[in-house]
Chains A and B, each alone.
Chain A
Amino acid sequence: MLKINDLHASIDGKAILKGIDLEVKAGEVHAIMGPNGSGKSTLANVLVGRDGYTVTRGRVTYNGQNLLELSPEERAHEGIFLAFQYPVEIPGVSNINLLKASVNAVRKHRGEKELDAIDFLKLVKAKLKTVDMKQELLYRSVNEGFSGGEKKRNEVFQMAVLEPTLAIMDETDSGLDIDALKAVASGVNALRADDRAIIVVTHYQRLLDYIVPDYVHVLAHGSVIKSGDKSLALELEKHGYGWIESHADDQAGAATVSGAG
């Protein structure tokens, strides 16, 4: 579904990603872990086409098409969804209206009929339950005055309504208490499906107790230094990032240096 080859990206001329290779197939859940500044969030943002990130080298294909050519809205139409690390507050635009516009934009792109108000509301109310979100938040302005936990739940709720093909969770666990974390995880788990892939970007192993990944990749200094199954996350938890970085430097040091060039 998603193929990333030798991806290099920079912000304001500063190289952040230095040669990422990654393949994600339908039905898989990949965790991307790494210390602060390793490039995890940059990778997530490059995949959704955020301004300010310049791809300097490499390719990203999504279902066979060149992803990097698409605008952010086109990527959304193609079924890519980012759960934001810092969800934006949008005063004056209600949650429900944004969702409706969003759902219909995607349906229109697929050549499907727009949902009428009743069907839409039915869909939305069913999805509210999956993340245990209060209905009143539907009619409030997007994220305005929401608590940290409510904002993250709202991201997962939007994801549940939009049913993306590729969902990218950017540090969705940061700042959550255990109840919110469980609710968010159960919302994500409910979306696991054979025709859908999920990329979970996280600093901590904690989230992966609840969203169990098929693969774990460790990012440091802008490249993947180690990949493995879920046990890699547990090892990281035990030994810390320092351990794996020094461990990986021995094996992959040369590659990292050439990538940085």
Chain B
Amino acid sequence: MNDLAINDYLGAHPDMSAALAGSATAWVAQTRRDALERFQSEGFPTPRHEAWRYTNVRPILKQSFTPSVAQRDDAEEIDLEKLSITPAVGPRLVFVNGHLSSRLSTLDDIDAGVRARSLAAVLDNEPDSVKPHLARQMPGCAHGFTIFNTAFAGDGALIELDAGVKATQPIELLYIVSTPNPGALAQPRNLLIAGPNSEAQIVERYIGPDGDAYFTNVVTEIVLQQDARLGHYKLQEEGDKAFHVGGLFVRHETGSRLYAHSISIGGSLVRNDVHVVLGAPHSACVLNGLYVAGGRQHVDNHTHIDHAEPDTNSNEVYKGIVDGRARAVFQGRVVVHQDAQRSDAQQSNKNLLLSRNAEVDTKPQLEIYADDVACSHGATVGQLDPDAVFYLRSRGVAEEAARGLLTYAFANDAVEKIQIVSLRERLESVIAAKLLKRDSVEELL
């Protein structure tokens, strides 16, 4: 609590909160005040917290980032083409430093029954429509960054799927950090509500320039109503000095299904928390994760799945490639509660260490309080199989290309689970570029 940064943030809150969307509404203001109070007493997590043992956030706290109320001016500078962002093929909301830019967003082709809006606008104009859900999906044990977001966030995406709607196109949420002034703090707050028997795919993509230190602290809450099916993609592709903390909180109703993909490539210090509550019978989730870290990157993925009701199903596979002096952390907790009979929980974390100085800390945890369940978990940390390298070389593939190809193949396992073809193809080439000497291996892909 001695961190200067915290004091700066606390000092800024009174002025900021008045300017935040929805501040005139009592329950919204109260939610923020409650969060602020908790944040004041708990602060940001430290390595003394078990869940933060391997991730020290001091680098984020050493400097004071600038929280933005609505930096709409920043959006004026943005040229998507210059950022190599291809034109939107479907609905796209673009956020700059956490705030919606209408100019950059396109909603022309949005499916009937799908609404994609700025949370700020809804908080100002019809706040009660989100009252049952906003800030209701986080568990009581949410950490300091989530609480910090709740206290300060004013904008983000609100996506609502009407009952029975089948979205034909993915909904893209693009988060750009723009740093005309160094040290931007972006705190998007997203809420996705999938109505009964609806179906959609939502892509959250985070980008920003290399070379600048900025901080994205995002929280996404998802409510899956009865029999809803949602594909959720989180792509962390920010710049090499970026700090990124993200929380994804999902609550399932009966028969609903989540296919969550998390791909972490960018950033300097990255922490992703995923907390899924299978809170009704026959709900199921699939978590597909991939992290690729090199240089001095630090990537921490923390997942928590609660099997709270009978006949629930979870299948989690996270894979990591760690090179240079990078460090990756995986903590995956699966809790099968007493009433969750006939639950099936499978979890695995596989890591490929490419350098002597790279480090992986993996901790799969399975807690079972029911007796009729099928559960398994496991973690591996290994290197490239020398027999496979030799096999490829004996077929004429140069050694460096052989190693690159095997590394890529390891990652591709996760990439090929991506259902959106254009996204899969883009990621294939992005990951290949990060892992491989392009020219030597291109022909193998």
Residues of A whose CB lies within 8 Å of any CB of B are: 48-51, 71-73, 75-77, 81-82, 84, 87-93, 97-98, 100-102, 104-106, 109, 114, 141-142, 158, 162
CA–CA, A77 and B392, complex, Å: 12
Answer whether A92 and B410 are a contact pair too, CB < 8 Å, given A51-B390, A73-B397.
yes
Which one of B239-247, B324-332, B401-409 is at the interface? B401-409
A102 touches B396 (CB 8 A): yes
Considering the chains assembled together, what is the distance between the CA atoms of A101 and B399 in angstroms?
A: 13
Partner of B395, one of A50, A76, A109, A141: A76
Mark contacts of B400-426 with chain A using CB atoms, 8 A cut-off: 1 yes-contact digit, 0 otherwise: 011001101110110000000000000
Query: Is B50's beta carbon under 8 Å from chain A?
Result: no
25 A-B pairs whose Cβ atoms sit less than 8 Å apart in the complex: A48-B394, A50-B390, A50-B394, A51-B386, A71-B399, A72-B393, A73-B394, A73-B402, A76-B395, A77-B396, A84-B394, A88-B387, A88-B390, A90-B391, A92-B409, A93-B444, A101-B395, A101-B397, A101-B401, A104-B443, A105-B395, A105-B396, A109-B396, A141-B409, A162-B395
CA distance A105 to B444 in the complex (A): 11
Which 3 pairs across A and B sit closest by C-beta, in order of nearness? A92-B409, A76-B396, A105-B396
**Are the C-beta atoms of A88 and B388 separated by less than 8 Å?**
yes
- Overall SS of chain B's interface: helix
B9–chain A nearest beta-carbon distance, Å = 45
Chain A residues within an 8 Å CB radius of B385: 88
Cβ-defined contact, B388 with A90, below 8 A: yes
Residue in B closest to A88 when the chains form the complex, CB atoms:
B391
- Given A51-B386, A104-B443, A92 contacting B408 (CB threshold 8 A): yes
State the interface size on chain B (CB cutoff 8 A): 26
Q: Which residues of B contact A92 (CB under 8 A)?
A: 406, 408-410, 412-413
Which of B386, B392, B398, B410 contacts A98 (CB under 8 A)?
A: B392
Q: A100: which B residues are within 8 A, CB to CB?
A: 443-444
Judge whether B445 is part of the interface by a CB distance below 8 angstroms. Answer: yes
A71-B393, A90-B409, A91-B409 given; name 10 further pairs at CB < 8 Å: A50-B394, A73-B393, A73-B398, A87-B391, A92-B409, A92-B410, A92-B412, A101-B397, A101-B444, A109-B396
Contact A97-B397, Cβ < 8 Å, known A91-B409, A92-B409, A92-B410: no
Closest-CB distance, A148 to chain B (whole angstroms): 17
Considering the chains assembled together, what is the distance between the CA atoms of A84 and B398 in angstroms? 18
A130 CB to closest chain B CB (Å) equals 18
B399 to chain A: which residues have CB within 8 Å? 71, 73
A90, B386: Cβ atoms under 8 Å? no
Closest residue on chain B to residue A98 by CB atoms: B395
Among B399, B444, B445, the one with the most A-chain Cβ atoms within 10 Å of its Cβ is B444
* Closest-CB distance, A85 to chain B (whole angstroms): 12
Minimal Cβ-Cβ distance residue in A for B415:
A92
- Contact (A98, B444) CB under 8 Å given A71-B399, A91-B409: yes
